[in-house]
Amino acid sequence: MVYRIRYWLMSLLIGVSGWLSGLYAQELTTRDNEEVKLLARRKVELGLNDLLNVLSLSDLGEFERNALISDSYVPGVNQLFASKETIVEDDVSPDRTATATVLDMPVEKYLANFDLLYAKSSQSTIAFSDFTVSNLKQSNTLYVKVFYTALFGGKHTKIDKPYQPVRRVAEMQAIRVGAKWTVLITRLAFATHDDSTNLTRNDVALKEVALRTVAVRTDSTIARDSTQMAVAAPVDPEREREKAILDTYQKLLKEGETAFAAGDMVTAQRVFEQAEKQKPFEDLTPKVRLFTIQKTLDERSRNSVVELKKRLNLALRKRRYTEALSLMQAILKQQPDSTALETQSQDVMAQARRKAELDERFASGQYKELVKEYGRIIDAERKQNKQPSTSSKVNSSDWFLGRGKSYTQLGDYKEALRDLNESLTLDFQNLDALESRADLYARMGDFPKAAADLSVYLTIDPANAELLTRRAAYRIRTNRPTEASADYDEAIRINDKNPRYYLLRGQFHLQNGSCDKAEADFTEGINRSRRQPELYFQRGVAYVCLKQFNSAGDDFARATELGVDARIRAQIDSVAAKFYQQSQQDIQARKVGDALAQLDIALRLKPDYAAAWLVKGELLLSTRADKQAAEALTNAIRYKPTDALTYYQRGLANMRLNAYADATVDFQKAISFQADMYDAALGEAKARTALRQYDKAQATLTSLRNIRKQLEKRYPPAFFADVYFLSGRCAYELKQYSDALERFEDALSITKDWAAAYTERGRTYEALEKPDRARDDYNRAAQLEPTVASHYVPLALMLERREKFEEALTDYARCQELDQEHELANVVALGRGRCLMALGKYLDALAELNRYGQYDGVACTDECLYLRTYAQVRTGQLPENVRMVGLSTTSASPENAPKLRYVLACAHLQANDEKQALTQLEKALQMGLPREFLKKDKLLDFVRKDFRKNQAYTQLANRYK
């Protein structure tokens, strides 16, 4: 990829930054605003765009791409984002094109997904255009918004769908240190219809500073917005200094490219390192070029004759003959006159052919046949070479090695060890034999000897990082942690790009309780490869050890997204299960708060833990946190949609939330998955009763009554008491009073001191016109639960209906006294208002009725409105706007609407508005005001005693006889 210098934009920035010399003060100016806007646009147009394009290049390795990702959110010259937790709305998936399909994720995960899922190419495929930038804004910090259109021209690796242009917005925090501004991306999202640079909300007040316009140089090789204009102040020393920095940077890039093209990598590396340190704006050219230079230098070092000969010697000792032949050819290209090497290559080729055939058979598992074949070869060579040469010893060493490996695979460790020992006797520098014997010792559990063999191996090949990690593992088994740690350190020193070595050292630290060191190693591993679920899982375990459970949950989730095998999945489940089990112990100890805390950790680690969601829902139900309980149980159902108990528990939560229809569905679901869950059947009946579906509820209850004998062993008596009680309520509402009475008596025969059952039976006695029996039951309920306010309401109502108003007032007062939560305040206010009015105490009645809605804000009902207006007329306290009363009749019940019109007519008459009084009175009669009521009610006479003699009134009354 060819990187072009954005000289025009840098020149423009220099023009703006030149204004700032000596002008900064506490207040912000228009010059500050313009500089921040330019910096912000540059951060997106140059920095972010380049980052995505470079990450999508096919010629960069995973290590280099991961380094660029890390650089983008850690402090340094290439930082774009405020932190790795910066939230980005994902646009890597072509299915996400707007806020309606939004998926939030941290920028670290966003860039890792981009690297994994966006197809690589040799050219830039991502373009940003149509930039607009808001003015400086202030909330918790100073910030600006950069709007732009992004188009991904490449392809998604898993979704066969082209990308569409999307409108994006980057929120940028602006920070001023001294006379310099810096900006960092704090949020990257889809732009919405409400977003606009024209919105002035949160805009900072700016002090106007006069600006002069000057010409600005542009780079004609770059296509940019033709509408852009530059504004700058007169040339000053600060501007000249910054221009010099830009010129120096360009010269460094040119010098570096010249050296690179000439193959002078040492000079190119030195120059580009200097350019990376001195670059005045976001440009990944030096960083990417340095990656390429290092690769070239590494390759040159590996292919020098001295290095090739070292590698050849090791390849022969490791019995890697194919690799050795390749290295010989590379040496012969540089030293074509090496006759000895040519001869050696022919011998190696012959050995390679023979060994390759045997290795193929070993790879296919023909171990028994190979034992015999190697035996034949060994016997034949013994007969042929009674006094073996050095070369024949090497060959024989290979055959004993091959047979020893075959014996190892067959589990015959004794014979395997004998052959491997013989192999090393014949050629003590046979590294393959040393490694194989170390593996054999490890299989046999003799880790000291295994480590000793690898130590010998490493004296010959000290830069073998892989074997260093293996020796570290053996040393851990022999309780030599210091030496093991040194081996891991040396492996990483030799090859610090291999994420596996960080994984192994991190696991070593984790096993030794050094969780912070483990987390650091796993993070380093992830920085080198963000595609290995094992690294995320292990870091998650380290976070659990550090009690950073949110981070642990994020890592477990990421590991799962990348694809974990059954082993890791089981380990994640096991970690979450430990916290779940602790919650069970806390529940047994009645430590509900502690149990909930343990469950929250388990669910953070394993969000699909249905059992934990269920227990959490049950605990929340026990603490009356019904809404949260319903949410937890909904999650349990999401992850285990066929569990009857979960539906039943959510049904209970919905009952408490008065969501009776939802509760009905839940109870039915529970029954569908477990037909004999009769608790759910009772729950459904309760929900239907609350929905006033009495016939359906009664059908369910009848079926439960019919199988009582079958269920008595499974359910306690209280279950059947509930069935009979609820059945009685349904019968009462269906006006089947005799049946209702029988059901309540059945319930009381099971639970003799059940206050609610006495209350309901009392209501039934009233319906059967047995007031004395009703009063006895109401009194019995109050005696059983004397502090329960609701028991006094039915007694007061009955006394009120029997026109025993003073006694009714006493019971209403008792209810009011006990009703600490004011749940019955409106019922009491209305009841006391009626009684006081019946006793002619209108002022007291009005005071009571004015309390309606005092605690819950509920508007006065039509009955309340009628009574209150009536009392206002009687006490001479007319409503401020009597028309309001008239309007209220439109939503009043058929019983109260005509009464409201009547009292409105009386109010108008009291105000000497006879015409309006007659109008309202006629409307009352039209709405069905009973003639008997009009004849007997005394309010009309109270307002104007002789009004009934009025001719107009007489004619009106006669019309509605």
Please state the rounded mean pLDDT for residues 121-125: 89
CATH of domain 24-208: 3.10.450.50
Q: For residue 635, what are the contacts with CB-CB under 8 A and spacing of at least 6?
A: 610, 613
User: What is the C-alpha to C-alpha distance for residues 879 and 888, in angstroms, rounded to an integer?
Assistant: 13
Q: What is the pLDDT of residue 389?
A: 54
Q: What is the pLDDT of residue 889?
A: 60
Residue 210 has pLDDT above 80, yes or no: no
Pairing of strands 142-152, 137-138: antiparallel
Closest alpha carbon to 437 in 453, 457, 448: 453
Q: Which of 85-99, 205-219, 469-483 has the lowest mean pLDDT?
A: 205-219
The mean pLDDT value of the chain amounts to 87
Tell me the pLDDT band of 319, cut-offs 50, 70 and 90.
Answer: confident
Please state the rounded mean pLDDT for residues 401-421: 94
Tell me the pLDDT band of 888, cut-offs 50, 70 and 90.
Answer: low
Residue 251 has pLDDT above 70, yes or no: yes
User: What is the C-alpha to C-alpha distance for residues 297 and 318, in angstroms, rounded to an integer?
Assistant: 26
Q: What is the pLDDT of residue 6?
A: 46
Instruction: Compare 892 and 781 and report the one with higher pLDDT.
Output: 781
What residues form DSSP beta bridges with 833?
none
Q: What is the pLDDT of residue 957?
A: 87
Residue 392 has pLDDT above 80, yes or no: no
Helix (H, G, I), strand (E, B) or coil at 57: strand
199-208 burial, b at 16+ Cβ within 10 Å, e below that, comes to eeeeebebee
Residue 213 has pLDDT above 80, yes or no: no
Q: What is the pLDDT of residue 582?
A: 95
Residue 902 has pLDDT above 80, yes or no: yes
Instruction: Compare 247 and 81 and report the one with higher pLDDT.
Output: 81
Please state the rounded mean pLDDT for residues 178-201: 83
Q: How many helices (H) and strands (E) are present in the chain, helices listed first?
A: 46, 7
Q: What is the pLDDT of residue 234?
A: 54
Please state the rounded mean pLDDT for residues 269-280: 80
Residue 727 has pLDDT above 80, yes or no: yes
Q: Which one of 136-140, 311-315, 540-544 scores highest in mean pLDDT?
A: 540-544
Q: Give, as one character, the DSSP assignment of residue 785.
A: S
User: What is the C-alpha to C-alpha distance for residues 863 and 272, in angstroms, rounded to an integer?
Assistant: 88
Residue 489 has pLDDT above 70, yes or no: yes
Residue 220 has pLDDT above 50, yes or no: no
User: What is the C-alpha to C-alpha distance for residues 663 and 395, in angstroms, rounded to an integer?
Assistant: 81
Please state the rounded mean pLDDT for residues 227-234: 44
Q: What is the pLDDT of residue 248?
A: 82
Please state the rounded mean pLDDT for residues 367-377: 92
Q: For residue 469, what are the contacts with CB-CB under 8 A and spacing of at least 6?
A: 487, 488, 491, 500, 501, 504
Q: What is the pLDDT of residue 387?
A: 60
CA 119-123-127 angle, 5° bins: 80
Q: What is the pLDDT of residue 287?
A: 80
Tell me the pLDDT band of 236, cut-offs 50, 70 and 90.
Answer: low
Closest alpha carbon to 108 in 504, 518, 539, 607: 539
- Fold classification of 611-676 is 1.25.40
Pairing of strands 180-190, 126-133: unpaired
Residue 729 has pLDDT above 60, yes or no: yes
Residue 225 has pLDDT above 60, yes or no: no
Per-domain residue ranges for the chain? Answer: 24-208, 496-607, 611-676
Q: Kindly state the percentage of the chain with pLDDT values over 70.
A: 91
**Contacts by residues 135-139 (CB-CB < 8 Å, ≥ 24 positions apart):** 135/33, 135/37, 135/197, 135/200, 135/203, 135/204, 135/206, 136/28, 136/32, 136/33, 136/36, 136/37, 136/174, 136/203, 136/204, 136/206, 137/201, 137/202, 137/203, 137/204, 138/202, 138/203, 138/204, 139/202
Q: For residue 775, what are the contacts with CB-CB under 8 A and spacing of at least 6?
A: 762, 795, 798
Residue 806 has pLDDT above 90, yes or no: yes
Assess whether the region 24-208 and the region 496-607 belong to the same CATH fold: no
Q: For residue 429, what are the contacts with CB-CB under 8 A and spacing of at least 6?
A: 317, 460
CA 294-295-299 angle, 5° bins: 115
User: What is the C-alpha to C-alpha distance for residues 75 and 211, in angstroms, rounded to an integer?
Assistant: 34
Q: Encode pLDDT of 33-65 as tens digits.
A: 888 898 899 889 888 998 998 898 888 888 888
Residue 331 has pLDDT above 70, yes or no: yes
Whether 78 and 284 have beta carbons less than 8 Å apart is answered as yes
Q: Encode pLDDT of 908-951 as tens digits.
A: 898 888 999 999 999 999 999 998 898 899 999 999 988 998 89
Residue with tokens 């053996």: 474
Residue with tokens 């290209």: 333
Q: Encode pLDDT of 634-652 as tens digits.
A: 999 999 999 999 999 999 9
Residue 536 has pLDDT above 60, yes or no: yes
Q: What is the pLDDT of residue 238?
A: 60
Q: Which of 263-277, 396-410, 618-632 has the lowest mean pLDDT?
A: 263-277
Tell me the pLDDT band of 76, cut-offs 50, 70 and 90.
Answer: confident
User: What is the C-alpha to C-alpha distance for residues 610 and 607, in angstroms, rounded to an integer?
Assistant: 8
Residue 216 has pLDDT above 50, yes or no: no
Q: For residue 644, what are the contacts with CB-CB under 8 A and spacing of at least 6?
A: 669, 670, 671, 673, 674, 677, 680
Closest alpha carbon to 599 in 583, 578, 587, 618: 583
Tell me the pLDDT band of 890, cut-offs 50, 70 and 90.
Answer: low
- Residue 613, judged by CB atoms within 10 A of its CB (0-12, 13-18, 19+), counts as buried
Q: What is the pLDDT of residue 321?
A: 82
What residues form DSSP beta bridges with 207?
29
Q: What is the pLDDT of residue 386?
A: 64
User: What is the C-alpha to C-alpha distance for residues 496 and 465, in angstroms, rounded to an integer?
Assistant: 10
Residue 743 has pLDDT above 90, yes or no: yes
Q: Encode pLDDT of 815-856 as tens digits.
A: 999 999 999 999 999 999 999 999 999 999 999 999 999 998
Q: What is the pLDDT of residue 841?
A: 95
Please state the rounded mean pLDDT for residues 184-202: 82
User: What is the C-alpha to C-alpha distance for residues 346 and 414, in angstroms, rounded to an integer?
Assistant: 36
Architecture field, domain 496-607: Alpha Horseshoe (1.25)
User: What is the number of residues in the chain?
Assistant: 961
Q: What are phi and psi of 345, to 5 degrees?
A: -65, -35
Q: Which of 261-265, 440-444, 904-908 has the lowest mean pLDDT?
A: 261-265
Q: Which two tokens stand for residue 469?
A: 């990690």
Q: For residue 740, what are the contacts with CB-CB under 8 A and spacing of at least 6?
A: 728, 729, 731, 732, 760, 764, 767
